[in-house]
Structure 1
């Protein structure tokens, strides 16, 4: 009999209730819970003459309640995680919806929406199995958390660290709940010029990460979206200390994606990013190249693990596209203002066919300014402003602003 994630979580809870009190000591002692309050204002202004929707503007309040238990004592430990989320509309309109903050209604966005997730977990030695609601952060599948509430999946995920320095993970996802929806749905492929995508309830993944030292890490990930595509991804991370408060970080990425079913997926993605850090300053440069008949594929609604996946553009990953990025970060703690951070970057892509048939070109500029209060009644209260400008030849012209206020209240 196949057990659903919810049934497994309930069974785990029932099992824990039958265990003797001493076995539950770590279960309760290591439990933690917090409530995140997230207030989000979103404004997108589409400036091209033929825009189907000239503006997307919404304001919403989010509540994210997260509980993580410890594990029961003994050779095999059991635990439970729970996630409750609520999104409340503060402002929207029929001609301003579809910002990603709220569900899209026939005429109006609903007044609120909610999500509930339950995860049963099991620990044996240095390996942990989780079954139920998951928020994966891997090369092949990265849940989107860039709006009011995070994207979640249903499935099973095992992570093993039995060998020092080596992390193995594998699992299967069966349902996808996108960031602004309450319903779990089947998964499908997203990406530029990809055709023939088929809904499915099976995404299998596996990966290996090895930390050769504190400075060098290699990662391999495999993903297979049934009836859609297969993907192999490699990542090399290296940090080179140069002197006092100086370092050079290298991030190399390669992904090979091919059709597995009725799609036309055919993509090789190569990316390289270099970041030089000097005190509170960080100077970055990145280059990305797409090869093949389609753009880079990923699960619908997820973030893309490409070096030039940023705020507005669909990851600068059209078929054949070349793109580069310049980035600058500054941490004001270096001059005595901890909690204040600044980032700006510029990206440009070309060598692809635009929707108008002309030689494609696109560029994007982002600015991010944030401050986290360090003490007093507002300690850990974060204020963040994000601005993005995107232009492409003969297509989208977009200006966007996001204002995010967030505070996490520890409960346990």
Structure 2
């Protein structure tokens, strides 16, 4: 850390805490800048009049400054985190917006243009006692009942408070209350809505934990409640079995049960899903199955990520009564002496979707990712990724999609 940076950080701490408490606050702090160049093109293959448009395409540059302080000394340590974000449009004429990279410009042609730029400032206060941490303010995290999204130019965040604890050996606990969400392409917080089920709420509460029974076996139990919309209970088991030199078998089994909350309409969903992965050297082969039961689709907060094995690049395969299976192949080229280069391809097929009282709905999605991160030299941490997806459905949109992402992370200290 440079002397100027050290003085600035130390001065910030001294404004709020006694001088003797600031050493760990400064010494354990970290900061980095991430640049993210993102091109997104989605082609609506069924075209008008089904979608009223042929395609959506945008190109944008994002920049993120992340700062995480250490904690002041004492029984209770205090700290602060900050995340500043900026998104700038590079290309995306009238009528081609709507990819989620940039905020919509409603005054543009057909209301489908995008704004030239937008920014966000996220602040989080934190306190720590032993191995228990309380955070209040802007939050970005993932667990089986609520997950923030980071698949666009800038990540989404939640507003609220949460506590995490790992004081008990092998047991990780989480609990919290969230008030609003700031979606990827917005500078403002907004109330929660239920994905595909509707309703509006400003109160999501969750609690749960994961216990490591052995080195390779863990179990999870979580509860989530979007007030006046739904209640959800999740249980999961992950077991990894070593089979020999550079071989292993991993089982990931998940089950969720969701019901309505308060005066919301009757809601009933049961989601059983799981996957098995076999790793051999740089190869990984995965098969997965997902089954929706009940009268409703899988409920989760709109613009967040559902914790489902068949939630992929575009689809979640979580419609009413849907059955879906997946085959996937990953390869890490480090096994061939090219560390940082990875490849993934998968195919997901779903059927039995309830449509107009029947079960004739069918859909499939194919994804391919190729990514490379420079491992050393002046361009270390430069990342290149190409993501391609194809979706076909007899009840929704047919899509072809390509994403090109160039990222660079520079550690300041």
Compute the TM-score of the two structures, normalised by the length of structure 1.
Answer: 0.93
8 Å CA contact retained: 1:289, 1:320: yes
Match of 2:270? Answer: 268
Task: Report the counterpart of residue 237 of structure 2 in structure 1.
Answer: 236
What is the aligned partner in structure 2 of residue 66 from structure 1? 66
> Is 2:309 the partner of 1:307?
yes
SS at match of 1:145: coil
CA drift at 1:169? 1.1
**1:357 Cα deviation from its structure 2 partner:** 6.8
For structure 2, the 5+ residue unaligned runs are 1-10
Residues 268-293 of structure 1: CA deviation (Å, up to 9, x unaligned)? 00001000000000000000000011
Q: Structure 1 residues 355 and 405, CA, compared in 2 at 3 Å: closer, same or farther?
A: farther
Does residue 293 of structure 1 match 2:295?
yes
Q: Take 1:62 and 1:144, find their aligned partners in 2: how far apart are those partners?
A: 16
Residue of structure 1 equivalent to 2:181? 176
Cα distance in 2 for residues equivalent to 1:405 and 1:255: 36
| Per-residue CA distance 1:364-407 (angstroms, 9 max, x = gap) | 10000001111221111000000000001253211000000000
Partner of 2:320: 319
- Note if contact 1:286-1:325 (Cα within 8 Å) is conserved in structure 2: yes
CA contact (8 A) 1:355 1:395 kept: no
1:3 is matched with which residue?
none
Match of 2:38 in 1: 40
The CA deviation string for residues 44-69 of structure 1, in whole angstroms up to 9 with x for no partner, is: 00011422221010000001111000
Does the 8 A contact of 2:231 with 2:258 survive in 1?
yes
Contact 1:356–1:395 under 8 Å retained in 2: no
**Paired residues, number:** 395
- For structure 1, list consecutive stretches of 5 or more residues without a partner in the other structure: 1-12
Whole-angstrom distance in 1 between the partners of 2:190 and 2:231: 20
Match of 1:53 in 2: 53
C-alpha distance in 1 between matches for 2:37 and 2:13: 38
Which secondary structure state, in structure 1, belongs to the residue aligned with residue 297 of structure 2?
A: coil
What's the RMSD between the two structures over aligned residues?
1.5
2:329 aligned residue: 328
- Which 4+ residue blocks in structure 1 deviate beyond 4 angstroms? 13-16, 354-358
Q: Measured at CA, do residues 21 and 146 of structure 1 come closer, stay the same or move farther in structure 2, by a change above 3 Å?
A: same
1:298-321: per-residue Cα shift (whole Å, max 9, x none)? 0110011000000112x0011100
Change (3 A) 1:392 1:161: same
How far the C-alpha of 1:102 sits from its partner, in A, is 0.4
Q: What corresponds to 1:7 in structure 2?
A: none
Taking the aligned partners of 2:136 and 2:99, their CA distance within structure 1 comes to: 31
Could you give the per-residue CA deviations for residues 3-61 of structure 1, whole angstroms, max 9, x where no partner exists? xxxxxxxxxx9886343322110000000000100000000000114222210100000
Identify if the C-alpha distance between structure 1 residues 287 and 15 changes in structure 2 by more than 3 Å, giving closer, same or farther: same
SS of structure 2 residue aligned to 1:67: strand
Q: Which secondary structure state, in structure 2, belongs to the residue aligned with residue 404 of structure 1?
A: strand
Q: Which residue of 1 aligns with 2:195?
A: 190
CA distance, structure 2, for counterparts of residue 95 and residue 85 of structure 1: 25
Following superposition, the deviation at residue 150 of structure 1 comes to 0.3
**3-state SS of paired residue (2:114):** coil
- Helix, strand or coil at the partner of 2:334: helix
Structure 1's 355 and 62: CA in aligned 2 closer, same or farther, altered over 3 A?
A: farther
